[in-house]
Amino acid sequence: MPAADPISPAPAPARDLAARLWTTAISRLGSMRHDLAGAWGHRAVRRGTYGSLLLFGGSLTPAYLPQNSPWWEPIRLLGLDNATASLVGTALVVLGVALLVEAWFRLRPSVYHDIKHWPITFWWSLPLLFAPPIFSHDAYGYAALGWLMRSGMNPYEVPIAALPGAFADQFSWMWRYNTAMYPPLSLEMFHGMVILAGNNPYLSAVAMRIPAVVGVALITHYLPRIAQRMGADIQLTAWFSAINPLVIIDLVGGAHNDSLMMGLVVWALWLTLNGKVWPAAITVGVAACIKQPAILAFYPVALIGHPWESLRWRDTWSAMRRLVGVLVIAVTTFALISLATGLGFGWVWAADVPGQVVTLAPFTLVGAGLRLAFEAMGLPVVGEVVMQVLRWIGLGLTAVAIGWLGLTVGRRKPITFLSWSYLIFAFGGIALNSWYLTWGGLLLPLTRPSRRIIGTAVTITTVLLAYGAGNLAWRNDAVALGFAALALMLVLLYRHRQEHKAHVAHLSAQQEEQ
């Protein structure tokens, strides 16, 4: 029997390629470690990380923890299941949010120039990766929907309440009797996270941070690069979009699927800027299968690099061909994924579910106030009709405003159209949560905004963070701490605005001297 051939060494080109890849990987890891250490050496970065740690501690309170959470066993063992502990937890959240906001303000002049932005996002997000979902119970709902699918049920046909047990018990009773409003790819993602977590209810909810972190990574990596390619303010983009406390708390801490939606939208914009329009259109369709508002990104994907110069026939025909082409690809991608999952389009029948509670949406707030007034007059039916009419008026005005933007500003500034349209959609819709404002807010620095607009955006961000802390205080019967949170945030905001004005004046003086 002939002897076996000796194992031949790998060809020289293959060995060289492997060696180069290994060297590059080691170099990249060394560079990342250096960046992380450099960021940690900055006092404001550490302060923000301590704020996230306090948020972790404060999340272990009745306002966030379902009654079947595994955290209750050690909490009760330590005798922390009482009103005093809830009060302390609320104080920790208020202080944690304040530290994050103050650190964010402190880093405004130095981020990107002196400190890279991505290590800051890393350090601030790290403590929250292991915390219970914070400022929202949506992640528990994601897990319950995933469990429905794991059990062979279609969440578009049956509500969470159809499958009682640990998964359903984690989620707020208010939403258990509604069918799913999320598109099919989101539901498949929830299903996958439940499998990954070994069918454990709590770990399934925490696992929803995996796609959320992927979204934040895409946002952090590509947004400043898009700003550089467009000639926008890279430093402002890194500061306002990549290390914004709303991104850290709502997208990472809350584990919302908005994070992956926006990450894919940002990636689609990057692909478009690199001339890859059709892959970008497909990416928009995939993003819409995570959350429906992503479909609006078809507009900039079609017009970036090919502006709609005028309303003359020739320019309009050329623009319309591109817009229709990109929209058809995005919608087809959405439809094919929906059909491939076997789930269909049942989310349409649950589109009004977010409006079942009163949020910060302006038209809903006004409508709720009028409904209470009519109820006080003994006319509850009239009050309900008035509220619904106001909501439809808001949706109608939103559609008109977005259409007007598309025909005016958006023709030459398509990313400005997307940013403003998302903000209009958030404020004009039937429900408004703080994470909805990250859609348009993340893109706002790309629109070359004025100082007044950015100042307003910073103010709204701060108020929303104060509202989140105040909402926790209300849930934990510590309303006074909620007012304290608002007052503290306003003080920090005022101080930041004064310091930023002084910084801008100093830079202007230096430029004049040169």
**What is the Cβ-side half-sphere exposure of residue 52, based on CA atoms within 13 angstroms?**
32
Give residue for tokens 């994924």. 337
Q: Cβ neighbours of residue 284 under 8 Å, at least 6 residues apart?
A: 264, 265, 268, 294, 295, 297, 298, 301, 326, 330, 333
In a 3-state reduction of DSSP, which class is residue 111?
strand
β partners of residue 111 = 115
β partners of residue 115 = 111
Q: Which helix (H) or strand (E) holds 484?
A: helix 479-513
- Cβ(445)–Cβ(236) under 8 Å? yes
- Cβ(206)–Cβ(132) under 8 Å? yes
Please tell me the distance from the alpha carbon of residue 59 to that of residue 135, in angstroms, as a whole number.
8
- Return the biggest CA–CA distance within the chain: 102
- Cβ(139)–Cβ(210) under 8 Å? no
Q: What is the per-residue pLDDT for 487?
A: 66
Closest CA to 129 of 36, 59, 77: 59
Tens digit of pLDDT per residue, the chain (514 long)?
Answer: 444 444 445 455 666 666 676 777 777 787 888 889 888 999 999 999 999 999 998 888 776 788 888 888 888 888 888 878 778 888 888 889 989 999 999 998 888 888 999 999 999 999 999 899 988 889 999 999 999 999 999 999 999 988 998 999 888 877 888 899 999 999 999 999 999 999 999 999 999 999 999 999 999 999 999 999 999 999 999 999 999 999 999 999 999 999 999 999 999 999 999 999 999 999 999 999 999 999 999 999 999 988 888 888 888 898 899 999 999 999 999 999 999 999 989 998 888 777 777 777 888 888 888 888 888 888 888 888 888 899 899 999 999 999 999 999 999 999 999 999 999 999 998 888 889 999 999 999 999 998 889 988 998 888 888 887 777 766 666 666 666 666 667 777 767 777 667 666 655 666 666 6
Domain boundaries, the chain: 36-132+451-502
Give residue for tokens 């429905």. 148
Q: Is the dihedral of CA 72, 77, 82, 86 positive or negative?
A: negative
Q: What is the per-residue pLDDT for 509?
A: 64
Give residue for tokens 């007059």. 377
Closest CA to 467 of 480, 483, 478, 452: 483
Q: Cβ neighbours of residue 169 under 8 Å, at least 6 residues apart?
A: 66, 67, 68, 201
Give DSSP secondary structure letters for 272-296: HHTT-HHHHHHHHHHHHTT-GGGGG
